[in-house]
Amino acid sequence: MIREKLKHKGLIVDCSGPDGNAFQLLKLASDLARQLEWSEKETERLLIEMKSSDYEHLILTFDKHFGWHVTLEFDVHPSSKIANVIAWIYCHLYLKLYGTSFYFI
pLDDT greater than 70 at residue 89: no
CA 90-50-65 angle, to 5 degrees, is: 115
The answer to whether residue 82 scores a pLDDT higher than 90 is no
Instruction: Kindly give, in sequence order, each residue whose CB lies less than 8 Å from that of residue 47, ignoring residues fewer than 6 positions away.
Output: 26, 29, 30
The pLDDT tens digits for 25-48 are 999 999 999 999 999 999 999 999
Per-residue pLDDT tens over the stretch 45-63 = 999 999 998 888 999 999 9
Which residues neighbour 34 within 8 Å (Cβ) at sequence distance 6 or greater? 43
Q: What kind and span of H or E run contains 33?
A: helix 22-35
> What residues does each domain of the chain span?
2-74, 77-105
H or E stretch at 43: helix 40-51
Instruction: Give the C-alpha separation, 72 to 59, whole Å.
Output: 8
